[in-house]
Amino acid sequence: MPETWSLVLILVVAVSVVLYGFSKTGMPVAGVMAGPIIAAALGPAVATGFVVPLLILGDFMALALYRSHADWHLIRRLVPGVLVGFVLTALLFEFASMILVSRILGLLILTSVLLEVWRLRTEKSVTDDHPGIENKLAIAFFGTLTGMTTMGANAGGAAMTLYLVKMRVSMLAFMGTATWFFMILNFIKVPFVVSLHLLTWNSLLISLCFIPALAVGGVVGALAFRRMNPKVFTTVALIVSALAALWLIIMG
């Protein structure tokens, strides 16, 4: 953790935490935009330990709103690919730099977004007449991409968003499924960040000081979600996913 916290640093971290809160209750992929900001402010390793407690608290906020709307069938279908993604990312880190891996993942996400935009333009609307993807290879791809982006670039929200958009779930099912999925992943991270001494009592106490910012983001996200229609929700999700992918490609 930084030895001194300047006003600018506090504001930058607070804005990032607000985005995390917003992502939990309003638009899951929004949190991807917060990751690079907070990593630049605190350093990648420190940021990892700092955000995990806040992400878990944000998950509990989201559960209060969306816990009964999860589609567990979609989560179960995604898990095998996620585990493969974890393993592939670990192997890639043995032979390639983190920057190169991040750029590869960014290209995969951006390509997926562009393909989804093209598909939507060829359909009149996203309705029940257009069921979600059933191709097992496609589902495995998105599971693997989610696992790799979560493990390698802390950007799993973008890949998960694409998966749920392609599955044509309702907005509530989208939020409920994403909430439970990322809560499970965040709890899985805890032993790793503790064993690596990234999450300590000191970092935990500092994280808790930013709970008000997390709450503000959560309230704004919940209010925004209530006012969004499905078409706007899908459009915003795809735009933010594309921006996250471009960030990974350019910044690595």
How many whole angstroms separate alpha carbon 102 and alpha carbon 250? Answer: 10
pLDDT value, residue 126: 45
Domain residue extents for the chain: 7-251
Q: What pLDDT is stored for residue 252 in this prediction? A: 64
pTM of the model: 0.82
Q: What was the pLDDT predicted at 128? A: 46
Taking the C-alpha atoms of residue 252 and residue 249, their distance in angstroms, rounded to an integer, is: 6
User: Closest by alpha carbon to 184, among 56, 26, 21?
Assistant: 56
Helix (H, G, I), strand (E, B) or coil at 117: helix
Which one-letter amino acid corresponds to residue 102?
A: S
Amino acid at 227: R
Amino acid of residue 224:
A
Could you give the angle at the alpha carbon of 105 between the alpha carbons of 163 and 136, nearest 5°? 35
* pLDDT tens track, the chain, 252 positions: 777 788 999 999 999 999 999 999 998 878 877 877 887 888 767 887 888 899 999 999 999 999 999 999 999 998 898 888 888 877 776 777 777 877 888 888 888 888 888 877 776 544 444 456 677 888 888 888 888 877 766 667 788 888 888 888 889 999 999 999 989 888 887 887 888 788 888 889 999 999 999 999 999 999 999 998 888 888 888 888 888 888 878 876
C-alpha distances (whole Å) from 89 to each of 44, 63, 246 are 17, 29, 20
Q: What is the DSSP string of 137-188?
A: HHHHHHHHHHHHHHHHHS-HHHHHHHHHHHTT--HHHHHHHHHHHHHHHHHH
How big is the chain by its Cα radius of gyration, in Å? 17
Looking at residue 129, what is its pLDDT?
47
Of 102, 120, 133, nearest in space to 248 by CA: 102
pLDDT at 136: 83
What's the N-to-C CA distance of the chain in angstroms? Answer: 23
What is the pLDDT, as a whole number, of residue 60?
96
pLDDT value of residue 133: 67
